[in-house]
Amino acid sequence: MSVLIKNGRVITAGNDCIADIYIEGEVIKAIGQNLQVKAEKEIDAAGMLVFPGGIDPHVHLAMPFMGTFSSDDYETGTRAALYGGTTTVIDFVLQTQGDSLKAALTDWQSRATGTAVGDYSFHMAVTDFNENTKAEIKQMIEEEGISSFKTFMAYKGALMIDDRQMFGLMSEVKKQGGMVTTHATNGDVIDFLVAKHRAEGKLSPLYHYLSQPEVTEAEASNRFAQMAGYTGCPAYIVHLTCEGALNAVRDAGRRNYQVFAETCIQYLILDASLYENDFEGAKWVMSPPLREKKDQAALWAGINQGLLQIVATDHCPFMWEQKLMGKNDFSKIPNGHPAIENRIELLYSEGVAKGKISLNKFVEVSSTNAAKIFGMFPRKGTIAVGSDADIVIFDPNGKHTLSAATHHMNVDYSGYEGWEVSGKVKTVLLRGKVAIDGDECLVEKGNGQFIKRSKVSNIV
């Protein structure tokens, strides 16, 4: 199949021009003005923005967590991602403590293979670092194409590892050419504050927020960055939310440590006042929690200063019924919120349309940097000859309203109900196939491919 996209305003991390794009099979064959080629399908993109398919490197699909499972599986989650202009996601395989990385991988593969609609890859979450785990790192990187290893410095008694394990993991991952990523909050302090609030009978969602103050994130981010600096291991902080943590990343940069960081769309545009509405606040119970307006300003600045390279979602949806598990105790509310479908439109609307970031920066943080940092560039993350034809055609004037009534995520509420956005995803191509055309999804369950990723040392 060949496709010609004509007259669009083609935006990459480094370019902005009116051009045609010619696609043959799964890849881009030519880019230029007035291309004189015949294609089986022509798409007129005049007046539209044309940019690389989004990459969301932080999602949780069908994840077993807090006594339940996140409500989007690989089919519904990756389909909703496509509707929202995200063509590739990276999910987290979770090692079961006492078990091997390979066993966890097999489990996750069985959920994703033949199910995903869009492309996907995996990070490996190491929850139990020991001699056996250590021996599997090389195999994960070289044979499985999984070069990033996720850790949790929080969720004490469940997913958390201690600093001894972190240090051991970083040393081994550095040696094998990978990257260590982390959920950087101080699990011991959070555990203390959760117990204190519960003992005092303070059980509403507001106390979820008050159990994870900024200092818990700033301290853990700094500790992680220092360990990364000492071991020389490329490192990445997921879902960074606040000024204090950003300062830790800035300091690491001053010392030339390889510490990358992501924020998520919700931390840029929502704030902690949402926890004041009694149990309604459970919709935004996530870890770390939403922060303050001053943190939002710091995060937008962090994007423009290059301290935050990626805007992800940490998509981890739960039905309202699942959120009700914590009706009488905030510590039992499954943590996470839905956003996989909303990220690109919200980032464009709140970032580009409101003049906070440039179009090139928008492409960089929603796609290109994730491809580079996680070893998929230039196959993914750009519009270039030889790259996968993962392309979004976007109407910058397409105003519309976000709602659970119209979204495609498998969750019965929206964290952005009634939010007016400027700009709409119109058409999405995944590896040369039109996957989304207006309101229609034209690709099936099983269309998504697993993307093997290269060693981090090749990219950093």
Ligand X SMILES: NC(=O)NCCC(=O)O
Asked whether the beta carbons of 193 and 210 are under 8 A apart, the reply is yes
185 near ligand X, rule: CB under 6 A: no
- The position carrying tokens 């339940």 is 68
Is the Cβ–Cβ distance between 288 and 241 less than 8 Å?
yes
Supply the DSSP symbol for 95: P
Segment 47-106, which members bind ligand X (CB under 6 A)? 60
Coil vs helix vs strand at 434: strand
CB 450 within 8 A of CB 105: no
Nearest-angstrom CA–CA distance, 62 and 69: 6
Pick the closest to residue 343 from 56, 14, 2 (CA basis): 56
373 vs 443, beta carbon nearer Zn ion: 373
Size of the site for ligand X (CB under 6 A): 8
DSSP character at residue 71: S
Tell me which of 52, 336, 338, 448 binds ligand X, using CB under 6 A.
336
- Residue 56 makes contact with Zn ion by CB under 5 A: no
Q: Does 424 bind Zn ion (CB under 5 A)?
A: no
**CA gap 285, 291 in Å, rounded:** 12
Least distance in angstroms from the C-beta of 120 to ligand X: 17
Q: Does 282 bind ligand X (CB under 6 A)?
A: no
Could you say whether residue 314 binds ligand X (CB under 6 A)? yes
User: Should residue 181 be labelled a site residue for ligand X when binding is judged by CB under 6 A?
Assistant: no
Whether 259 contacts 249, CB under 8 Å:
yes
Instruction: Answer yes or no whether residue 343 interacts with ligand X by CB under 6 A.
Output: no
- Which residue, 59 or 430, has its beta carbon nearer to ligand X? 59
- Decide: is 314 part of the binding site for Zn ion (CB under 5 A): yes
> Please, are residues 137 and 104 in contact by the beta-carbon 8 Å criterion?
no
Taking alpha carbons only, the member of 146, 13, 169, 159 closest to residue 90 is: 146
DSSP state of 335: P
Tell me which residue has its CB nearest to ligand X: 335
CB of 94 to ligand X, least distance (A): 10
Q: How far apart are CA 27 and CA 3, in angstroms?
A: 10
Q: Which of residues 266-295 bind Zn ion (CB under 5 A)?
A: none
Residue type, 141: I
Residue 387, token pair as written in the block:
């790259």
Query: Out of Zn ion, ligand X, none, which partner does residue 144 contact, by CB within 5 to 8 A per kind?
Result: none
336 binds, among ligand X, Zn ion, none (CB under 5 to 8 A by kind): ligand X
408 binds ligand X (CB under 6 A): no
Amino acid at 327: K
* Shortest distance in whole angstroms from residue 88 CB to ligand X: 18
Applying CB under 5 A, does 337 fall inside the site for Zn ion? no
Please identify, using beta-carbon distances, which residue of 183 and 361 lies nearer to Zn ion.
Answer: 183
Q: How far is the CB of 441 from ligand X (least distance, A)?
A: 26
Q: 134 or 223, CB closer to ligand X? A: 223
Report the nearest approach of ligand X to the CB of residue 161 (Å).
Answer: 14
**CA-based nearest residue to 88, from 124, 126, 58:** 58
Nearer to Zn ion, 85 or 317 (CB): 317
Instruction: Say which entry of ligand X, Zn ion, none residue 379 contacts (CB below 5 to 8 A, set by partner kind).
Output: none
- Rounded to whole angstroms, the Cα distance separating 109 from 97 reads 18
Residues found near ligand X in the complex (CB under 6 A) = 60, 183, 286-287, 314, 316, 335-336
